[in-house]
Amino acid sequence: MYPNSYFMSANNGYGGPSGYYNLSPLDYAKTVRMANALVDPHLQDATGPKRKIPSDLHELKETVEITSNELLFDVEIGRGAYGTVYKARWCGHEVACKKFAKEDIDSVKAMQFLKELQTSTEAFIHPNIIRYYGFCQTPFCLVMEYMEGGSVQEYLRHDKPQSIQISPLQRIMIARQAALGINHLHKHNIVHRDIAARNLLMDDPKSNKDFRVVVSDFCMSRILHEEPYSATYTTVGPLKWMAPEALNEQKFTTKSDVYSFGITLWELLTGQEPYADVDPVNTAVEVLVSKKRPKLYGTIHSKLQKLMKHCWDEDPAARPDFPEIIQILDNFIEKAAKQQKKRRNSSESDNDD
């Protein structure tokens, strides 16, 4: 028996103890830590480095390397060509965690990107860009902020309940927030390459607060092997959002992002998938050969139609840049808000009569 020892009983799973154990103070402390870790795996061993995490993760000053036992995975919330996204907990905080298949990862590119995350913090921090908090090397995953509302794409379908449908003006506000995020990436020489409604995430639109939209998945081209990444782009949906020069020459620039944004704006305003009646490969052929573009409906405001046409111009040099796009959307939102207020005041005046 140890001096100042502790007795501990272990439950056999059927309501009774399977045995009693005499433990030294050191062994007792280790056992308690292990038991706590089973309940809350983000708790660290007292002998390891202490993780100092602010109560608000947005105050985190750097992107940190995380060990797998710090993450407590919950439910799967998304699955795509590049990986699976889980809701998870890290150091007591709710986060999203994107896991990648080992064979898809280009280790050299991935390490370069992770180094950028850690050293070029300013480039990856903006209210309209998904915030990366950390990364885990085994298994390879990125730990990021959890956006409760999920993908904007889910709210565009007309079969959604009325309570969570997004108004026309809100859709334009979503486009503006996305443009702000993409513009920030471009300022830091980062080309997104996959702009679409599915890669815009949002807060819960049912909440009373003004919802926030963030651009996600801008790092995919920077950590994946070129072969599967390129294959994805030539066999599945993203083809429908790609600029002609990207389809023809695999040339991705800030101007090809502008083209994709124009298609995404159409997607937001119509609630439809672009070229829904045509498969991706035939769409690409028609875009290149016949200069096909999405149909512009009369219900779309003429100024927004004009903006979309400029965004998806065949000539990349003729397309606007994002500061110009933001200015156009700002002006449109301001005028629309004034008109709404005027109509509301007029309606209240009529009711008073």
pLDDT digits 0-9 by tens, 127-169? 999 998 988 888 888 899 999 989 999 888 766 665 467 888 9
Tell me, yes or no, whether 140 and 175 share the same domain.
no
Helix spans in the chain (H): 25-39, 107-119, 168-187, 220-223, 226-235, 244-249, 254-270, 280-289, 302-311, 322-352
Model pLDDT, residue 222 = 57
Model pLDDT, residue 348 = 67
Tell me, yes or no, whether 110 and 156 share the same domain.
no
Q: Which of 45, 104, 194, 315 is catalytic?
A: 194
Backbone φ and ψ of 60, nearest 5°: -60, 130
pLDDT digits 0-9 by tens, 77-98? 888 766 789 999 998 899 999 8
Tell me, yes or no, whether 165 and 277 share the same domain.
yes
Check pLDDT > 60 for residue 230. no
Tell me, yes or no, whether 185 and 65 share the same domain.
no
Model pLDDT, residue 44 = 42
Q: Which of 202, 99, 197, 191 is nearest to 153 (CA)?
A: 197
Tokens (6 digits) for 202: 């949002």
What's the CA gap between 317 and 243, in Å, rounded?
13
Model pLDDT, residue 51 = 63
Tell me, yes or no, whether 198 and 327 share the same domain.
yes
Mean pLDDT, residues 20-40 taken together:
47
Domain endpoint, select from 146, 164, 191 = 146
Model pLDDT, residue 282 = 94
Mean per-residue pLDDT over the chain, rounded: 79
Check pLDDT > 80 for residue 112. no
Domain endpoint, select from 146, 171, 197 = 146
How long, in residues, is the chain? 353
Tell me, yes or no, whether 276 and 253 share the same domain.
yes
Tell me, yes or no, whether 277 and 221 share the same domain.
yes
Model pLDDT, residue 40 = 43
Model pLDDT, residue 163 = 47
- Please tell me whether residue 116 adopts helix, strand or coil conformation: helix
Q: Cβ(296)–Cβ(150) under 8 Å? A: no
pLDDT band at 258 (very low <50, low <70, confident <90, very high): very high
Check pLDDT > 70 for residue 3. no
Which tops the pLDDT comparison, 59 or 132? 132
Check pLDDT > 70 for residue 235. no
Model pLDDT, residue 39 = 41
- Please tell me whether residue 61 adopts helix, strand or coil conformation: coil
Which tops the pLDDT comparison, 352 or 123? 123
321 is catalytic: no
| Structural domain containing residue 314 | 150-336
Tell me, yes or no, whether 109 and 160 share the same domain.
no
Percent of the chain beyond pLDDT 70? 72
Tell me if 98 is assigned to a ligand binding site: yes
Q: Does the residue 22 lie in any domain?
A: no
pLDDT band at 100 (very low <50, low <70, confident <90, very high): confident
Tell me, yes or no, whether 207 and 126 share the same domain.
no
Q: Does the residue 43 lie in any domain?
A: no
Percent of the chain beyond pLDDT 90? 43
Tell me, yes or no, whether 69 and 193 share the same domain.
no
pLDDT band at 284 (very low <50, low <70, confident <90, very high): very high
Check pLDDT > 80 for residue 62. no
For residue 147, count CB atoms less than 10 angstroms from its CB and return exposed for 0-12, middle for 13-18, buried for 19 or more: buried
